[in-house]
Amino acid sequence: MIELARLSRKKAALDCFSQPVIQWFANNGRDFPWRNTKNSYHIFLAEILLRQTQAERVVGPYLRLIERYPTSEALSRASVGNLRKWFRPLGLVRRADQLISGTKLIMSKHGGLIPRSLDALLTLPGLGEYSARAVACLAFGAKVPMIDESSGRLLRRVFNLEPRGPAYCDRQLLEIAEALIPAENARGFNLGLLDIASAYCHHNTPNCLDCPIGKICSYSLNCTSVAEKTPSKLQSSRRSARINVFKQHPRALHKSSQERDTRLNLLHLETEFRNTYARFLFTIL
């Protein structure tokens, strides 16, 4: 019985949070060449290049690499010096070493194939906790969370969580994300979180009004960003307009304060409800 209740709460969480993320990604997700392939070698290359580098900067080197070195074997035999020259103008020199030593290990230990397990991926030079998870999910469909600093910030805001170290290894975040991943579409969920974080959930100025998960986000529902978005000039001009009305029509003051109390009560209830809802989502995970 308890299990049944837990399952139905989990389904509610998937419906309310995960499905909007996946739906938004299906319609608005960013398009990069490594997102249009299931080739595990290509995805492995892309994830090494993408570490701490803007995705737009990686497109050119990625396309050149897969054209010049179409397999792990070809790349494992490349000259480190040549590859370094390639990458130097992009500031990615260390990636040249990692790519070659990574593909050498793939050849010697994994028969030329990108390993599927997270543990094996983590032994490859150049892949960290996040990028190994990305390869496991995007190349092999593994139901594992991919949490970087931006999607971690998003989840912390949605569920009102305090940071516990870097997002990629924050166990609490990883557990929440894992519980929210729908079995049938880990890719859409993980990439959706990344892209929503990139499009809306900026460090200083999150755009909660337009965010597709604003309705269930604890941060947004506490009205912080909405209040920040109301220009103070606009607020003061509205205030003086109201004072003028009250001077001319004193009875309006009574009516207005009643309305305001009602509005405040509604706002309070709404915030309470939403906070409870965020806590509810959190406790089921």
Contact flags string 152-171 toward ligand SF4, x per CB under 6 A: --x--xx-------------
Q: Which is nearer to ligand SF4, 22 or 208 (CB)?
A: 208
Q: Which is nearer to ligand SF4, 13 or 154 (CB)?
A: 154
Query: At closest approach, how far in Å is the CB of 207 from ligand SF4?
Result: 6
Distance (Å, rounded) from C-alpha 277 to C-alpha 218?
A: 9
Query: At closest approach, how far in Å is the CB of 196 from ligand SF4?
Result: 7
Question: Does 194 help bind ligand SF4 (rule: CB under 6 A)?
Answer: no
**Using CB under 6 A, which residues numbered 211 to 250 contact ligand SF4?**
211, 213-214, 217, 219-220, 225
Q: Which is nearer to ligand SF4, 40 or 151 (CB)?
A: 151
Q: How many CB atoms lie within 10 A of CB 74?
A: 13
Distance (Å, rounded) from C-alpha 214 to C-alpha 73?
A: 47
Query: At closest approach, how far in Å is the CB of 274 from ligand SF4?
Result: 11
Q: Kindly state the DSSP code that residue 128 receives in the 8-state scheme.
A: -
For 138-171, b where at least 16 C-beta lie within 10 A, e where not — what string?
bbbebbbbbbbebbbbbbbbbbebeeeeebbebe
Query: At closest approach, how far in Å is the CB of 77 from ligand SF4?
Result: 45
Question: Does 193 help bind ligand SF4 (rule: CB under 6 A)?
Answer: no
Query: At closest approach, how far in Å is the CB of 226 from ligand SF4?
Result: 9
Alpha helices in 14-128 (DSSP H): 19-28, 40-50, 55-68, 72-76, 80-87, 93-110, 118-122
Question: Does 206 help bind ligand SF4 (rule: CB under 6 A)?
Answer: yes
Q: Is 241 exposed, middle or buried (0-12, 13-18, 19+ CB in 10 A)?
A: exposed
Q: Is 243 exposed, middle or buried (0-12, 13-18, 19+ CB in 10 A)?
A: exposed
Q: Which is nearer to ligand SF4, 136 or 211 (CB)?
A: 211
Binding site for ligand SF4 (CB under 6 A): 154, 157-158, 200-201, 206-208, 211, 213-214, 217, 219-220, 225
